[in-house]
Structure 1
Amino acid sequence: MSAEIASMLLADGRLPTGGHAHSSGLEPALAAGLRQSQVPDFIRGRLETVGVVEAAATVVTRRWAVSGGSGSELEAISNELLARTPSAPLREASIQLGRGLARLASRLWPQHHAVQLLMALPGHPMRPLALGVFTAVAGMDDTAAARSCLYDDAQTVASAALKLLPVDPAEPVEWLLQVAPTIERIARAAVEVDCAADIPATTGPLVEQWSLEHNARSRRIFRA
């Protein structure tokens, strides 16, 4: 598989990883009063906080996989990411997405050492770890891995908006084009991270609070 094709696959909403069941926090944000006109700012805010953390973790994991690292090293990356995800519902959502992506990787490359260690990780991998391994095995470089992580988060919000808001289908496409420079800038920053301990610890307190409220609701469209 070429790196270019792998990048296209990861950007495809039909990829069987369970992402269609998530809104990247848009549903709870709207329930808390976010207006439709603020969705582009919401996307940008996620990229600047959650996005940079997850993109950096993806890059660090990709490098680990390429270098043939050990299971204990992968577990250390996982612990650093868990520590930077204080909301239990957000951790669980990331694990659900990571489990789906890891399952896909194990189907495509069952004999790869990094994939086997990913599947053996205690507690199941969060999304950035699974994405890091997937991008490594698929031959993608650091920048492409970070970009895939960031774009997936942004397009998840945009796709969810079509189900949650009375929006013209062309408008979410415009949102993604508007944040493209932000994605590129944060991808470059993520590549500058040297090791797991240096992964940024930025977060969005409102996103965390909304995730807790959303988790307690009995009526919802998306899991997170």
Structure 2
Amino acid sequence: MSSPEVVALMLADGRLPTGGHTQSAGLEPAVRAGLGADGKQPADVGAYARDRLRTVTRTEAAVAVLARHYANAQAITTEADKPSPAGTSGTEPFVMASRFVQLESAWAARTPSRALRTASRRQGRAYLRLAERVWPDVLQHLPRDSEIARPLVIGAIGAVTGLSPEQVARLVAYDDAQTVIAASLKLLPGDPAVAVTWLAALHDDIERLVNDVAPLTDIDKIPAAGAPLIDQFAEQHAIERMRLFHA
């Protein structure tokens, strides 16, 4: 039997083969755009990560919590009401439950940047391919080898592995903040120990996010705080000819 605590640690591990090393959570284009006075002020990295926690990351965490909720609700329906698992030998193709379709639409409506949506779906595909090998019950909720928003896949994994809504939200929040901090060491080289202090300083912000989104069960209550500059940075980064990170 899987331990939810260990699963949460696995999913938060940057060495997991889900393409996390290709992501900067938008920090690279922010640096290009002049993060800090001259684009080389590492003290501003923590502030950037905090701004993400209050905007785009809050939306992603809420969507992951809802995906977990929907997957758990689907799991307790009768066998007759369940969709056939992806990849079965049946003649009917797998059809994602309407609630998941609606949830991804709600996520997309709150993620106006096409570049951010594309990056999330590519990562979602990587998580889904990993889950097929490690936690195949995820395929009872999502179609195999599909580009689905990353928070939906994380929520479905959380459901089949017994993660609580708090663990799911905390995972999304921590992963985003850690992605920013880790990318900063490549973009603005400095002392890794100092970078860890920036991450530690975000713990209260992460817990506030968890407390806000973990109770959600209503799709209409998904937060939609705007981050126009992050969206603009992402769109510009998507057409850069030379870049260190995919997004």
Common topology (TM > 0.5): yes
Work out the CA distance in 1 between the residues paired with 2:190 and 2:140: 42
- Out of 58, 63, 66, the residue aligned to residue 64 of structure 2 is 58
Work out the CA distance in 1 between the residues paired with 2:230 and 2:193: 26
- Residue in 2 that maps onto 1:68: 74
- After TM superposition, the structure 1 = structure 2 runs for residues 41-190 of structure 1, keeping only pairs within 5 Å, are 41-68=47-74, 71-110=97-136, 112=137, 114-119=138-143, 124-190=147-213
Q: Deviations over 1:115-146 (max 9, x none)?
A: 3331259x621110011011111111000100
CA RMSD of aligned residues (A): 1.4
Amino acid at match of 1:61: A
- Residue in 2 that maps onto 1:21: 22
- Out of 193, 196, 202, the residue aligned to residue 219 of structure 2 is 196
DSSP-derived class of the 2:147 partner: coil
- After TM superposition, the structure 1 = structure 2 runs for residues 3-42 of structure 1, keeping only pairs within 5 Å, are 3-35=4-36, 36-42=42-48
* Residue 238 (structure 2) pairs with residue 215 (structure 1): yes
Shift of 1:64: 0.7
The structure with the largest alpha-carbon Rg is 2
Work out the CA distance in 1 between the residues paired with 2:104 and 2:139: 15
Shift of 1:76: 0.8
Shift of 1:11: 1.3
Shift of 1:105: 1.0
1:135, 1:141 within 8 Å by CA — same for their partners in 2? yes
TM-score (norm 1): 0.95
TM-score (norm 2): 0.86
Unaligned ranges ≥5, structure 1: none
Structure 1, 173-182 or 68-77: larger mean CA deviation: 68-77
Q: Deviations over 1:145-186 (max 9, x none)?
A: 000000000001111111111210112211110000100011
Q: Tell me which stretches of 4 or more aligned residues in structure 1 moved more than 3 Å.
A: none
2:71, 2:141 within 8 Å by CA — same for their partners in 1? no
Work out the CA distance in 2 between the residues paired with 1:177 and 1:65: 32
- Residue in 2 that maps onto 1:206: 229
Work out the CA distance in 2 between the residues paired with 1:133 and 1:11: 16
Amino acid at match of 2:166: T
Amino acid at match of 1:51: T
Q: Deviations over 1:81-115 (max 9, x none)?
A: 011110010000100111111111111132x2x43
Q: Deviations over 1:51-76 (max 9, x none)?
A: 11011101000011111166111111
Work out the CA distance in 2 between the residues paired with 1:154 and 1:115: 28
Work out the CA distance in 2 between the residues paired with 1:195 and 1:22: 30
Q: Deviations over 1:28-60 (max 9, x none)?
A: 000000032211100000000011101110100
Identity %: 43
1:55, 1:149 within 8 Å by CA — same for their partners in 2? yes
Unaligned ranges ≥5, structure 2: 37-41, 76-81, 83-96
1:106, 1:116 within 8 Å by CA — same for their partners in 2? no
Larger helix percent: 1
Shift of 1:207: 0.2
Work out the CA distance in 2 between the residues paired with 1:177 and 1:132: 25
